Structure 1
Amino acid sequence: MFTLACYPRYPLGHFPTPLEPLTQLTGRLGDTYRSVPSLWIKRDNCTGLATGGNKTRKLEFLVGEAFQQGADTLITQGAIQSNHARQTAAAAVLAGMHCSLLLESRQKSDEDYERSGNVLLDEILGAQIVDRLPTGTDMQAAMEELAERLRGEGRRPFVIPVGGSNPTGALGYVACAEELDAAPIPIDWVVHATGSAGTQAGLVAGLRLLRHDAKVLGVCVSRNEDLQRSLVHQLAQDTAAKCGADIHLPQDAVLVDDRWVGGGYGVPTDGMVEAVRLLATTEGILLDPVYSGKAFAGLLGNITEGRFKSEENVVFLHTGGSVGLFAYRSTFAPSTT
């Protein structure tokens, strides 16, 4: 039996996160559709680190590894409104480290997007936003160049990949799989947003290691199905190997759905807006416009299509990021002039 106890880990979050029934939403959908499963939500938006989010789980293991290597500075990258960058900045504060961020301009934006939401919190948390780089930049190479420069200044940087998504970071979602395995209900499906792949890879690897039969459906927020499935598959195998196991995981066992991406990463869709408003007005829970909003739109779409059975328990994993709503003010409150 594998154990996570042997990996360095720095405590950052509030775990286990709540698992709650979406009673009012399930009832409303039941008035419209013939086959509606029992809907639950795993509240990884409540991890407690600077408004919470899924990256906190990954950062516990990544910061633990950084300490093991004697680092004094965390370097990472993401889009302007990166939830990962914001949580990394907060993790650095708790760990007594510096934080240097490289942000990529991936889409057309307005002043709200450029200055509010996550990027405002990055600044409040004391992170150094080293540069804002144009879309298409090799961000990993840019981080390595920054790390080399900091080493020349006598610093000891630790480079964290986008989304914290490598086998070390994915251990955070092996830990989440343990929480789901211990849930008081039988779980048939887990649905969530899949982007940099670490969340889905950790869940897939963890549930396989635990011999749990739940299916994991990742709703794509940036790539097409083929690319996303390949990325998740490889990282899941690498994560299992890090846990000392060789899991049998056919590539087609990785379930992804790319129909809800719309115009691309971070580009609003009508389905996302409807999903955000529906969960807010039925359960009082706020999603985010880039990840969980599109993932919830995918969940609703799959319910409409009858993918889930009425007797099944479907858990939506809320990956956090609602502070990003402030960066999309014009999307949710369009001008009437």
Structure 2
Amino acid sequence: MTTYTLAGLSRYPRFPLLHETTPIERLARLEQHLGPALNGVQLYVKRDDHMRVGGGGNKLRKLEFLLGQALADGADTVITVGGLQSNHARLTAAAAALAGLQCELVLTRQVPRGDADYEHSGNVLLDELFGARVHALPGSVHGLSWANERAATLRAQGHKVAVLPTGGSTPLGSLGYAVCAQEIAQQSQQMGLTLSQVIVPNGSAGTHAGLSAGFAALGLNASLVRSHAVLAEAAVSRQRTWELAQQALALLGSEASIALEEIDVDGAQRGAGYGMPTAAMLDAVRLLARTQGLLLDPVYSGKAFAGMLADVAAGRYAPGQAILFVMTGGAPGLYAYREAFATPSL
């Protein structure tokens, strides 16, 4: 039996947020529902929504490293940026509360909506419950620049501030998903499972990058990962993912390399843009909820799951192949999309 271990991880401080390996489960009821249309493909899900802090989600893996470094540097305040309904912002607020750090969120209106559900429900409600100071700004504002200016003000007042970019998708943050790749390799071996594909959404690129870097460093194939772009167009997401993956490999001290051609990003599910609902996303969210009792989110995992279903329907996978969807959390965002789910389709 192969031992899958990323030795390079041990040199980086971590603030524990996961507590345990997230489970891999078979989507048996969904398989039964799809029947012959599934063409014998096996569907599995890794429950990265199944975490104990802040409602769960993939950003916690990144925050283990980002907050670990912030605490090691003596920070007393963390500032991060994102869209108004950012999952990363919500989880940064929750993790900062657990770590005893002050948290400020710089949230820009990236989605053209101003209704009460979007402005005050979902993640925005939770940000405030977790004690974060929220700066809600127009979409024309460059969030990271504004955050750096705010950090300078706080530093002048004597604070030690860590600024985290969108999604926590830095090379260091991406190591959180190198850890996930290690978990998947270990779990699939224990289950006697050979995976043909690992599927994720691609927003700020850190999740895909970390997985590809982790698999490459373990001697596996970086192209095992396929992502569905939900923020930038596919070509931009692919380039950003590749750059982050190489930087994460360097942090791991790995001699492995990843070619741009190994970064598989599909842009067919993006729709009109970030945070904009699609009919396929709405159908995918309803389908998984009604067959498995599991909640996808409307911005990231809903579109990626729709992409996976489209790939299966198009015959991308052969009968008997097993594919793994990484559930990246974000369910609180559903409440901000109440109106979209109130109608059968767009």
What's the TM-score, normalizing by structure 2? 0.94
Letter in 2 for 1:118: N
Q: How many residues align?
A: 333
Question: In the TM superposition, what is the alpha-carbon distance from 1:27 to its structure 2 partner?
Answer: 2.2
Which of residues 55, 65, 72 is equivalent to 2:69? 65
Matches within 5 A, 1:1-337: 2-33=7-38, 35-109=39-113, 110-129=115-134, 131-183=135-187, 184=191, 185-213=193-221, 215-334=224-343
Q: What is the DSSP-based 3-state SS (H/G/I as helix, E as strand, rest coil) of the residue aligned with 2:265?
A: strand
**C-alpha separation in 2, matches of 1:15 and 1:201:** 22
Question: In the TM superposition, what is the alpha-carbon distance from 1:212 to its structure 2 partner?
Answer: 2.1
Q: What is the DSSP-based 3-state SS (H/G/I as helix, E as strand, rest coil) of the residue aligned with 2:93?
A: helix
User: Which is worse superposed, 144-153 or 7-16?
Assistant: 7-16
**C-alpha separation in 1, matches of 2:231 and 2:8:** 32
**C-alpha separation in 2, matches of 1:49 and 1:16:** 14
Letter in 1 for 2:119: E
**C-alpha separation in 2, matches of 1:99 and 1:299:** 36
**C-alpha separation in 2, matches of 1:265 and 1:64:** 30
Residues 109-159 of structure 1: CA distance to partner in whole angstroms, max 9, x if unpaired? 211010000000000110001x22222322221111011010011111001
**C-alpha separation in 2, matches of 1:112 and 1:36:** 40
Report if the CA contact (8 A) 1:100-1:127 is conserved: yes
**C-alpha separation in 2, matches of 1:248 and 1:151:** 39
Report if the CA contact (8 A) 1:36-1:308 is conserved: no
**C-alpha separation in 2, matches of 1:60 and 1:283:** 29
Residues 50-69 of structure 1: CA distance to partner in whole angstroms, max 9, x if unpaired? 11000000000101000111
Q: What is the DSSP-based 3-state SS (H/G/I as helix, E as strand, rest coil) of the residue aligned with 2:11?
A: coil
**C-alpha separation in 2, matches of 1:160 and 1:146:** 13
Letter in 1 for 2:149: E
Question: In the TM superposition, what is the alpha-carbon distance from 1:247 to its structure 2 partner?
Answer: 2.5
Question: In the TM superposition, what is the alpha-carbon distance from 1:22 to its structure 2 partner?
Answer: 0.4
**C-alpha separation in 1, matches of 2:8 and 2:182:** 10
**C-alpha separation in 2, matches of 1:115 and 1:334:** 21
**C-alpha separation in 1, matches of 2:220 and 2:55:** 30
**C-alpha separation in 2, matches of 1:189 and 1:313:** 7
User: Which is worse superposed, 9-18 or 143-152?
Assistant: 9-18
Residues 283-323 of structure 1: CA distance to partner in whole angstroms, max 9, x if unpaired? 11010000000000000010111111222110000000011
Question: In the TM superposition, what is the alpha-carbon distance from 1:42 to its structure 2 partner?
Answer: 0.3
Map of 2:3 onto structure 1: none
Letter in 2 for 1:211: G
User: Which is worse superposed, 20-29 or 93-102?
Assistant: 20-29
List runs of 5+ in structure 2 lacking aligned partners: 1-5
Q: CA RMSD in A?
A: 1.3
- Amino-acid identity (%): 46
What's the TM-score, normalizing by structure 1? 0.96
Report if the CA contact (8 A) 1:237-1:247 is conserved: no
Report if the CA contact (8 A) 2:8-2:251 is conserved: no
List runs of 5+ in structure 1 lacking aligned partners: none
**C-alpha separation in 2, matches of 1:76 and 1:17:** 25
